[in-house]
A and B are shown apart, each in its own frame.
Chain A
């Protein structure tokens, strides 16, 4: 990683502001959808270091306050720092002791401002964040990218999930999914990601947030299928092919 020595000399001296960096330990896709009672979110527990699947116990989804759930992909150290910022935000909110508490909309807005302002200083937090929650019966699911692009939708995904999971969700998501159907749908997405994303790791968690609160499942692994006849002898009749 010695390219950090080449500081881009656009502003002359190297002792001035930080420049855009590059990520070191990264998490891959987060996938989330709205269902009948709230939001379901899934993420694997991998922390990749380049092409090495280095860490396999990274929790990439965390509860924020009473009403929100945050999932992150990208640089893990930046996600950990965001959690520290949110800790302080929630603490100050609690200290008002006014019966009010920050909901998912507010947290999403706060994160958007943080991400966008860092982007403007050319020093981004290298994450794609998924923020889901329920407050007063209202379900909320939004996303913020490292450049501050933010939006809400009925289903969101980061990274590879955008390319592999969202088409599945566009096809099969519908209003008022049951918990079981929602989980099965997320697992379908996560399985495809496991097959087709180099950085995916077969150990994942699914989190649920409803009006009652947040539950994050214990880590578990998905079964995979390799028994296609085409996989057994792919080069029969065409030696040298694959």
Chain B
């Protein structure tokens, strides 16, 4: 199955303070994001202040639910607003909306349920949380053929938004994964000058 984009950006901005993680059909998730960005822009102008995460999430839910027979996309809306602080809303296929302290989605997420059941804790710091998600995505990449390339993170809080980028070759190695080399020749040259047993 061809990899159309090996470095795609699946975290899309809806407003200054709300982002959405897209999975499933790229086209479907892009068009839903586009509509929600458009609606939220107008909503912000009318409201006179930043939209809340809940409003953004419910707009996404509305499109997902009312077009459930056509869309095939799972979305995660996350952000920060001054009323509720940081909030995450999962919107899987079908258009159910569910607020959660953490959530996973996409094809690679199948391999992460056990990991998060064990590793997620209430009240993690920003650094701990970012390390956790990077580790998680890298574990998913190890086992899910449809995941790979790079890890992107977005941190949203009262201070603003920070984007980070972790190229695939900087991620930790897991079971049966070897340290990447430039060439076999380098391996041969570093070991003792004895003939190989073939």
Contact = CB atoms under 8 A, between A and B. Distances in A.
Contacts, number: 46
B71 to A, nearest CB: 9
Given A21-B69, A77-B65, A81-B65, A55 B94 contact: no
A93 B25 CA distance: 42
A77 B96 contact: yes
B96 A4 contact: no
Nearest to A23: B94
Contacts of B76: none
A207 B93 CA distance: 29
A49 B93 CA distance: 9
B69 A19 contact: yes
A211 B116 CA distance: 43
A242 B53 CA distance: 52
Contacts of B90: 55
A189 B87 CA distance: 36
A126 to B, nearest CB: 9
A47 interface: yes
A25 B94 contact: yes
B69 A76 contact: no
Contact of B97 (A19, A23, A49, A80): A80
Contacts of B69: 4, 18-19, 21
B35 interface: no
Contacts of A25: 92-94, 96
B55 interface: no
Give the residue among B72, B93, B95, B96 with the most A Cβ atoms within 10 A.
Answer: B96
B96 A24 contact: yes
The B contact surface, by secondary structure, is loop
B144 to A, nearest CB: 15
Contacts of A24: 92-94, 96
Contacts of B100: 55, 57
Contacts of A44: none
Contacts of B115: none
B113 interface: yes
B98 interface: yes
A52 B113 contact: yes
Contacts of A4: 69-70, 72
Given A18-B69, A24-B93, A58 B98 contact: yes
A49 B98 CA distance: 13
A23 B94 CA distance: 7
B98 A47 contact: yes
Interface residues of A, number: 21
Nearest to B94: A24
B68 interface: yes
A24 B72 CA distance: 11
Contact of A49 (B65, B70, B72, B92): B92
Give the residue among B70, B92, B100, B113 with the most A Cβ atoms within 10 A.
Answer: B92
A19 B113 CA distance: 33
Contact of B94 (A18, A57, A58, A77): A77
A76 B68 CA distance: 13
Interface string B78-105: 0000000000001011111110100000
13 contacts: A2-B72, A4-B70, A21-B68, A25-B93, A47-B96, A47-B98, A55-B90, A57-B98, A58-B98, A75-B94, A76-B96, A77-B65, A77-B94
Interface of B: 65, 68-70, 72, 90, 92-98, 100, 110, 113
- The 4 lowest CB-CB distance pairs between A and B, nearest first, are A24-B94, A77-B96, A77-B95, A76-B96
Interface of A: 1-2, 4, 18-19, 21, 23-25, 47, 49, 52, 54-55, 57-58, 75-77, 80-81
Given A4-B72, A25-B92, A77-B68, 16 more contacts: A2-B72, A21-B68, A24-B94, A25-B94, A49-B92, A54-B92, A55-B90, A57-B98, A57-B100, A75-B94, A76-B96, A76-B98, A77-B95, A77-B97, A80-B65, A80-B96
